[in-house]
Amino acid sequence: MIYLDYAATTPVDENVVDVMCQCLGSQELFANTASSHAAGRKAHKAVEAARDRVAGLINAAARELIWTSGATESDNLAIIGAAHFRRLRGKHLVTSVTEHKAVVDSFHLLEKEGFTITWLHPDEFGVISLQDLEAAITDETTLVSIMHVNNETGVIQDIGAIGEICRRRDVLFHVDAAQSFGRLPIDVRRDQIDMLSLSAHKAYGPKGVGVLFLDSERIRRVEPLLHGGGHERGLRPGTLATHQILGMSRALEIAHQNLAQEPQHISVLRDYLWQLVGVIPSIQLNGHPSRRACHILNVSVADVEGESLLYGMRNFALSSGSACISDSAEPSYVLKSLGRSDQLAQGSIRFSLGRYTTRAELDQAADTFIATVTRLRDLSPNQQSVGSG
């Protein structure tokens, strides 16, 4: 199978595997980092060194990073935790309808608890209006959450400009950067980000570990979601998974080191794939034509049923949207927000490329995709309605 689903998860880099295996095989690093004996202190030192390395990659201080199980937990802790802690100041929050499910569902929960949510709608390319965002902020607003790179379309939001608005209006700004780390530069100070969520497995690291950055000058505390110990400054209890943390640190280091070359190379491959499949009549690019991350190409084709399209591409690891909603028969809410019909939203494919993608693999994918669309349209009663272009 040819893997073209890097936005869902990435294979673990061999260097990361080596680091994790060395940790798992160590006679000392297996110890609990909260233990006071020599082995515990050594494990603690290794974890803190990893924390310091990851912090440096986003221009943060080590004390500002909380280890979590991934970006989903980081999103939940940031949004729900901050909203609960600041509820006496105000109960109005701002986000967009195209956020990841981890963000959307967190806001739905807060809505049920009596918080008021302003749901911003993007333009037809998926971009959030800065004017709309600033107009949504009121004296009761305590938090804005906007993702850096959309996980379905790859559209990039101007988090620097949003950060400036939020800082000027004295509102906390949370960013889900799971899809952007290693593909775009991230600087929490420059972009005035108060909370940032990262995940290891989107950047060639292990699953089950992530980070939440909390600006120490802006955030005194958030309410923890879990209870059971004083780990991670009392914000995230549980014994730390040392091997996963060291693996995440190494994965993010490698991604950061490759930032000058890898995204440019993947962008060339993505554009090459679009050249190949863009010749299909009535195919639409979903998202912004240029303001998008290097690794995602999301397209919709008319008069093709989505499940049949995926079946025709069964020898390729692909997605019709976010992996988090792949079990749902509903059309993508992200594509619907861009004005796509139910048929076009369901007849969409997300190609996502990565470090190990080759041009030959894209040639095979494009040939199969074109042949599948052609065959399905020949079988479709609507095939005569398909025009050229």
Render pLDDT for 187-240 as a digit per residue (tens, 0 to 9). Answer: 999 999 999 999 999 999 999 999 999 999 999 899 999 999 889 998 999 999
Return the amino acid letter for 19. V
pLDDT level of residue 171 (50, 70, 90 thresholds)? very high
The token duo for 320 is 């019709």
Q: Which long-range contacts (CB under 8 A, 24 or more apart) does 257-262 make?
A: 258/182, 258/355, 259/182, 259/183, 259/185, 262/182, 262/183, 262/355
CB distance 164 to 188 below 8 Å: no
Q: Is 23 a catalytic residue?
A: no
Residues 6+ apart with CB under 8 A from 260: none
Pairwise CA distance, residues 31 & 38, whole Å:
9
Alpha carbon 34 to its chain centroid, in Å, reads 30
Model confidence pLDDT, tens digit, residues 136-167: 999 999 999 999 999 999 999 999 999 999 99
* Domain with residues 2-8+260-385, CATH architecture: Alpha-Beta Complex (3.90)
Looking at residue 180, what is its pLDDT?
98
Considering only CA atoms, which of 262, 45, 285, 246 is closest in space to residue 153?
A: 285
Residue 379 is predicted with a pLDDT of 85
Sheet holding 296-301, edge to edge: 283-285, 296-301, 348-352
DSSP 181: B
Half-sphere exposure of 92 (CA within 13 A, CB side): 8
- Residue 385's pLDDT band (cuts 50, 70, 90): very low
Task: Please state, in angstroms and as integers, the Cα–Cα distance from residue 196 to each residue in 72, 164, 181, following that order.
Answer: 12, 15, 11
Quick: pLDDT tens for 11-38. Answer: 999 999 999 999 999 988 999 999 999 9
Indicate the burial class of 209 (C-beta count within 10 angstroms; 0-12, 13-18, 19 or more): buried
What percent of the chain has pLDDT above 70?
95
**Cα gap 370→382, rounded to integer Å:** 18
Contact 8/352 with Cβ under 8 angstroms?
A: yes
Q: What is the pLDDT of residues 269-285, one digit of tens each?
A: 999 999 999 999 999 99
Whole-model pTM: value is 0.94
- 8 Å CB contact between 224 and 234: yes
Q: Is the pLDDT of residue 325 over 90?
A: no
% pLDDT > 90, the chain: 87
Average pLDDT of the residues in 341-356: 93
Q: Which fold has domain 14-257?
A: Aspartate Aminotransferase; domain 2 (3.40.640)
Q: What is the dihedral sign for C-alpha 271, 357, 4, 303?
A: positive
pLDDT tens, residue by residue, 246-257:
999 999 999 999
Task: Say what angle helices 71-85 and 101-112 make with each other, to 10 degrees.
Answer: 30
Assign 324 a pLDDT band (cuts: 50, 70, 90): low
Q: Judge whether 90 and 147 are in contact, CB under 8 Å.
A: no
Q: Please, which residues have CB within 8 angstroms of residue 370's CB and are 6 or more apart in sequence? A: 276, 277, 279, 280
pLDDT for 343 equals 86
Supply angle C-alpha 190, 215, 81, rounded to 5. 130
- What's the rounded mean pLDDT across residues 299-305? 91
Strand partners for 213 = 65, 196
Alpha-carbon dihedral sign for residues 57, 61, 62, 64: negative
The pLDDT value given to residue 386 = 44
Q: 210 in helix, strand or coil?
A: strand
Catalytic residue chosen out of the listed positions 21, 23, 294, 324: 324
Domain residue spans in the chain? Answer: 2-8+260-385, 14-257
Using one digit for the tens of pLDDT, what is the confidence trace for 255-265?
A: 999 999 999 99
At residue 389, the pLDDT reads 38
Q: What is the pLDDT of residue 382?
A: 60
Rounded CA gap, 33 and 240, in Å?
7
Instruction: Report helix, strand or coil for 118.
Output: strand
274/349 Cα distance (integer angstroms): 12
